[in-house]
Structure 1
Amino acid sequence: MRVLPIVCAGLLAQAAAGQSAKQPAAGDAEASLRDGTVAQEHGDLKTAIADFRRALALKPDLVQARANLGAALAAAGQMDAAIEEDGRVLEISPQNEAVRMNLAMAYYRTGNLNQARLEFEKLHALHPADLNTAILLGYTYNKLRREADAAALLAPLEPGREDDFDFEYVYAYALIGSGKQDAGLPRMEKLAKAKNSAEAWLLAGSARFYRGEMQTARADLDAAVELNPKLPGLFTMAGQARYAMKDMPAATSAFQAALRADPTDFVANRDLGAMRLKEGDTANAKPLLELALQLHPTDPLTRLEMAKLDEQTGKYAEAAAILEALTRTDPNWLDAHWLLAAVYAELNRPEDGKHERALAHDIEIKQKAATPKKD
């Protein structure tokens, strides 16, 4: 989405008017600018960059050469150099909106989102109704976890643009991320279906999963798998939805696919390890859970599964140490208390086991009382 500044004849004329004794050099500079522009238009970035630099060596204040150099550097992937050139142009010509857009995009592409945001905000302030700028600023807000700001920015621009994929995607994402899922999910699923977008199906399925709507989540995620099984994180999410629905063969298949794509996928290692452990397959559960713990040593669910593994393999003291730490951190963790009671029994600590069972019983009563009754 790099914006290439148009050669400004007036600016070149103004620069040429200031020449006297150095007129031949200025002419050579402008010739190099023209040659570079032709090379740039034909995709010969190496030649274009060399021509623009030659023009600037002859005439350092030739703004259009510097602007085009920034654009060519960015197109060649030399983002830091592009940012430097764009910044120098804007010091001289702060009203140059094309170069400011180039600078914003370069910051975005290098992951400097706060600087990108500042530049997009300046452009948006100048042209509040410009859709392209609003979408880019919305994407940046979303990346910065400022989805509510993105939603507020885009809401007034939606009428008449309900079928614009780029707009609806960033707006639906913002709505979902800012807690307005009832408004965001139908939009995301509508465009996912209309455009056969695996990314949109993944976002919708993930949101449905975290809402506990497992049937719909699985359908959305399966649609994404059918369209683009190589989408990062997709098989992990699909595995979680299938696991939650207790479809263990399908969940196993999904997690295995996730680990083939990325052997260090934390969730896939943890959840597939937990499944293997539940099946009593401690030999295959062990390396999965150990890697998950190595990846995230403080994750409570992984530590609970390791305690279960220790309990099943006779390492009762190790299991007790993990569970005691977990129950100190979360005194209301029912599963941890019940398992600790069983471990204390194996360690011949009947009083401690009795105490844990009593705690677990009390927690269970409180949780049942706090659960809303179904009509």
Structure 2
Amino acid sequence: MRIVPILCAGLLVQAAAGQNAAANAESALREGTLAQEHGDLKTAIADFQRALTLKPDLIEARANLGAALAAAGQMDAAIEEDSHVLELAPQNDAVRMNLAMAHYRTGNWNQARVEFEKLHAAHPSDLNTAILLGYTYNKLDRQAEAAALLAPLEPGHEDDYQFEYVYAYALIASGKPDQGLPRMEKLARTKNSAEAWLLAGSARFYRGEMKIALEDLNAAVDLNPKLPGLYTMAGQARYGRGDVDGAVRAFEGALAEDPKDFMANLYLGTIRLNQRDLEDAGPLLELALQLRPNWPLARLEIAKLNDLKGHLAEAVAILEDLEKTDPGWLEPHVELANVYYKLKRSADGDRERNTIREIEAKQQQQPSRDN
């Protein structure tokens, strides 16, 4: 008969301990939330972890811990916590958004896509989710899907910078530049966006529209000359328009920011080579080739450098390989003909000249897009 009171007392002690642990967990949660609101992430993380030690199923503490870890840059730990929360509460959209953003920030584009797609399916009219999913599709080179996703949402959001930027980019990159470029250039003008001018100028450059490309890129330079990649692209456009001095200044600016900028080394090396400045051209072109050993234009310029240095056998080997790889590319044939004649290989030189005439005849039938 005495056993029953002893057992009851034990159960009461356990219940009291459980209630005390729960109360302490809630207290730690409140303290962590307050620290998080004041930007004290270290204290917040410690408090949330203490709350979970006392009460592992306290979802709010785990969700807040994931957010605090992400804010502190501890993305892998944040992803682990957010994933745990969603196992317990799969309908928690706020945590799913945090998880998607953590994947996005770490470059896990496909994992981010999965989470953003779930959010978009649940809230198809939510603009922010659609924009983030569009960005993710663009990162995955699925621009056509991004464009299709965003097209129905554009009416009424034409002035939204983030929406128009990701939509215009998707249109340009998915083969619809006639629709995307006007949007991107309008965005650049209305928002004074160097990034938008750079993207539009780059697209114009690769379409061969050098005049407009240069106008767009110069506008970007005026707004933000420190924008990564801008000086390099502006240099290419200036070079394409025949402004060699302007191109040199741009490429030198690019190399001041990043000495291993491939295109800046290649183009500046090419300019110096054309000026017969072999001393300056050599290191630039050699670094470009080191950065991208199989890049055809870098190999062509190295072949030209070898030719001018009298290393004719090395030049021939490169040029013959380029000719085999791309028979319709004019310049290797021109250079190879010159080197063959220097080597007294007249028959080979004559053959190359005939090939040059055939390629030039075909090129004359193709209209230029430069305006």
Instruction: Give yes or no for TM over 0.5.
Output: yes
Kindly report which structure 2 residues correspond to 1:268-279, keeping only aligned pairs within 5 A, or say none: 268-279=264-275
Could you tell which deviates more after superposition, 228-237 or 312-321?
312-321
- Residue 125 (structure 1) aligned to one of 121, 124, 139: 121
Deviation string 1:63-121 (CA, Å, 9 cap, x unpaired) is 11000000000001000000000000001111111100000000000000000000000
Cross-structure match for 1:50:
46
Deviation string 1:146-170 (CA, Å, 9 cap, x unpaired) is 1111111011011011111111111
Could you tell which deviates more after superposition, 287-296 or 356-365?
356-365
Structure 1 residues 283 and 373, CA gap change in structure 2 (3 angstroms): closer
Cross-structure match for 2:104:
108
Cross-structure match for 1:314:
310
- Residue 371 (structure 1) aligned to one of 363, 366, 369: 366
Count of equivalent residues: 355
Q: Distance in 1 between matches of 2:38 and 2:187?
A: 35
Structure 1 residues 94 and 344, CA gap change in structure 2 (3 angstroms): same
Deviation at 1:212, TM superposition (A): 1.3
Q: Distance in 2 between matches of 1:373 and 1:181?
A: 18
Structure 1 residues 372 and 230, CA gap change in structure 2 (3 angstroms): closer
Cross-structure match for 1:35:
31
Could you tell which deviates more after superposition, 134-143 or 305-314?
305-314
Deviation at 1:362, TM superposition (A): 2.7
**Alignment-mate amino acid for residue 371 of structure 1:** Q
* 1:23 is the counterpart of 2:19: yes
Tell me the SS of whatever aligns to 2:152: helix
Tell me the SS of whatever aligns to 2:242: coil
**Alignment-mate amino acid for residue 113 of structure 2:** R
* 1:93 is the counterpart of 2:95: no
Kindly report which structure 2 residues correspond to 1:1-375, keeping only aligned pairs within 5 A, or say none: 22-368=18-364, 370-372=365-367
Cross-structure match for 1:5:
none
**Alignment-mate amino acid for residue 23 of structure 1:** Q
**Alignment-mate amino acid for residue 270 of structure 1:** L
Structure 1 residues 96 and 142, CA gap change in structure 2 (3 angstroms): same
Deviation at 1:173, TM superposition (A): 1.0
Q: Distance in 1 between matches of 2:251 and 2:68?
A: 43
Q: Distance in 1 between matches of 2:173 and 2:311?
A: 43
**Alignment-mate amino acid for residue 292 of structure 2:** H
Deviation at 1:373, TM superposition (A): 9.8
Consecutive unaligned residues of structure 1, counting only runs of 5 or more, are: 1-18
Consecutive unaligned residues of structure 2, counting only runs of 5 or more, are: 1-14
**Alignment-mate amino acid for residue 76 of structure 1:** A
Cross-structure match for 1:7:
none
**Alignment-mate amino acid for residue 63 of structure 1:** I
Q: Distance in 2 between matches of 1:340 and 1:121?
A: 54
Deviation at 1:359, TM superposition (A): 2.3
**Alignment-mate amino acid for residue 59 of structure 2:** V
Q: Distance in 2 between matches of 1:98 and 1:20?
A: 34
Deviation at 1:44, TM superposition (A): 0.8
Deviation at 1:361, TM superposition (A): 2.3
Q: Distance in 2 between matches of 1:354 and 1:185?
A: 45
Q: Distance in 1 between matches of 2:241 and 2:337?
A: 29
- Indicate the RMSD between aligned Cα atoms, in angstroms: 1.4
Q: Distance in 2 between matches of 1:205 and 1:287?
A: 29
Q: Distance in 1 between matches of 2:158 and 2:215?
A: 24
Deviation at 1:348, TM superposition (A): 1.6
**Alignment-mate amino acid for residue 305 of structure 1:** E
Q: Distance in 2 between matches of 1:186 and 1:293?
A: 36
Structure 1 residues 275 and 171, CA gap change in structure 2 (3 angstroms): same
Q: Distance in 1 between matches of 2:88 and 2:180?
A: 43
The share of aligned pairs that are identical, in percent, is 70
Deviation at 1:316, TM superposition (A): 1.0
Deviation at 1:189, TM superposition (A): 1.1
Q: Distance in 2 between matches of 1:179 and 1:39?
A: 49
Structure showing greater Rg? 2
Q: Distance in 1 between matches of 2:313 and 2:299?
A: 14
Tell me the SS of whatever aligns to 2:294: coil
Deviation at 1:195, TM superposition (A): 1.3
Structure 1 residues 367 and 211, CA gap change in structure 2 (3 angstroms): closer
Q: TM-score, normalising length from structure 1?
A: 0.92
